[in-house]
Structure 1
């Protein structure tokens, strides 16, 4: 009897751990259902990728990380379109609305890069500007290794560059324990706990509401955890060395970084990263936020990206 009561209490605690603080809905706020309606479908060799393709003009890719999706950029898409850009926002395989095929090696950084190249080729886009966040940096470095002349300008948003400054919220060893954790994430047992901790660590103040969180929570409850498993149990435990890629970078680069980020810290890698990416001092911008700066500083980021992309080289 006591055990049953204990399990009930634990269940109540887990399920009542809301990952949002604000219940007020913003004016004209997009829902996750509407966001998905805007997404298009592209069949890669490994599965279907969903993506946003809006606007006319020079193309810019907005690439998410782990465990997010293109939803992270929802507040930036229309403003960039109004600024004259064609905005491409993919959900990488295993995330968001895209397929989540069984297997793990399919989710290597190199395979993510190959699929992104397939998407851009399918869209008839030969070169583009490119913004990436979090693990999107790893997929970007792999893309630049495979196709070094595709990206014309690079926007670095709190992304993985070096081991220095990289403090992921989750690091796991491959095996049963990690797989059990993924099972709990996708079956609603610890989904709220994961997201609550993520936003607590990733935002100075969690101002998200139920609609905001829906876009992060829904894919998890739909079973999108194999790609997460690979990242947290493999990729983030042994980061590749991309020194050779950095040495060959010869394009304009800007850094827009949430300076209070505890998961991806700029100061420990500042000199090394600045020199490697050959970024000018005036193109390094610090934002008063933590990791998920797209959530609270979308207007400021869009302004800085637009200014950078329209600046004469």
Structure 2
């Protein structure tokens, strides 16, 4: 009987662990339903990719990481579009609103990059400015390896570059335990716990409300964990080396980094990364935040991106 009550209490704690702290809804706050209504469809051989395409003018691609989606950039759409830019925000395969087909290597960097290049080709976009975050950096380095002439200007936001700065909150071995963890994430058993931990590590102060969190939680509850499984059980254990790509980067690069990030740290790699990517000192911007700088510093980041692109 005692074990039964322990199980019940554990279940209550897991399900009641809300991953947001704020209950106040902001004025004109976009809902996840509205965000999805603005997304378009792109069919690939591997599955459907959803993406936002708004505005007219020079193109800026905003690329998310793990375990987020294009929702991460929702606060940056308006300032960029209002300033005369065309904004493309994909949900990479396995994330957000995009399909999550069975497979393992389907979610490696090579295939993510290939599908993103196919999307841009389908839109008739030959060149663009490129913003990436978190694991989006790996997919970007691979894209630049496959097609080095597509990106005109590169903006690095708390991105995976070298092993020295990479401290993922989760590392798993492929197999049953990792698959069980993914099952728990998508079935509501530990979904809130995952997100609460993620925001605690990723924000100086968790100011998110229920609408904010909905856009992160819904894809998980819809079963979008196969790409996460690849990242946590493969990429986190065997980080790809893109040194050869860095040596051939000739486009202007800017770094905008939340300096208090414990998962992706700038100081351990700053000299090596800045030299490898040939980043000028004036194009390195240190932000007073942790990992998810798009959540609390969206407007500041947007204007720094535009200032850099206009130079």
Q: Would you say 1:2 and 2:2 are equivalent positions? A: yes
SS at match of 1:25: coil
* Structure 1 Cα separation of the partners of residues 283 and 3 of structure 2: 58
* Alpha-carbon distance between aligned partners in 2 of 1:22 and 1:241, rounded to the nearest angstrom: 40
SS of the counterpart of 2:285?
strand
1:101 aligns with 2:101: yes
* Equivalent residue number for residue 268 of structure 1: 268
- Give the secondary structure class of the aligned counterpart of 1:223: coil
1:31-70 alignment runs, 5 A limit? 31-70=31-70
Aligned mates of 2:122, 2:44 — CA distance in 1: 9
Residues 15-73 of structure 1: CA distance to partner in whole angstroms, max 9, x if unpaired? 01000000000000000000000000000111000000000001010000000000000
1:285 corresponds to = 285
Q: Distance in 2 between matches of 1:89 and 1:308?
A: 19
Cα offsets for 1:206-246 (capped at 9, x unmatched):
00000000000000000000000000000111111111101
Tell me the alpha carbon deviations over residues 176-207 of structure 1, each in whole angstroms, 9 at most, x when there is no partner: 00000000000000000000000000000000
Determine helix, strand or coil for the equivalent of 2:158. Answer: strand
* Cα distance in 1 between the residues matched to 2:104 and 2:192: 24
Secondary structure of 2:163's match? coil
Determine the C-alpha separation between the residues in 2 that align with 1:249 and 1:278: 8
| Deviant stretches of 4+, over 2 Å | none
Corresponding residue for 1:163? 163
CA distance in 2, matches of 1:209, 1:223: 22
Residue of structure 1 equivalent to 2:241: 241
**Alignment gaps of 5+ in structure 2:** none
How do 1:214-253 residues align onto structure 2 when only pairs under 5 Å count? 214-253=214-253
CA shift at 1:7, angstroms?
A: 1.2
TM-score by length of 1: 0.99
CA RMSD of aligned residues (A): 0.5
Shift of 1:3: 2.1
Deviation at 1:4, TM superposition (A): 1.8
For these two proteins, the number of residue pairs brought into alignment is 311
**Counterparts of 1:74 and 1:285 in 2: how far apart (Å)?**
21
Give 1:12-23 correspondences, 5 Å limit: 12-23=12-23
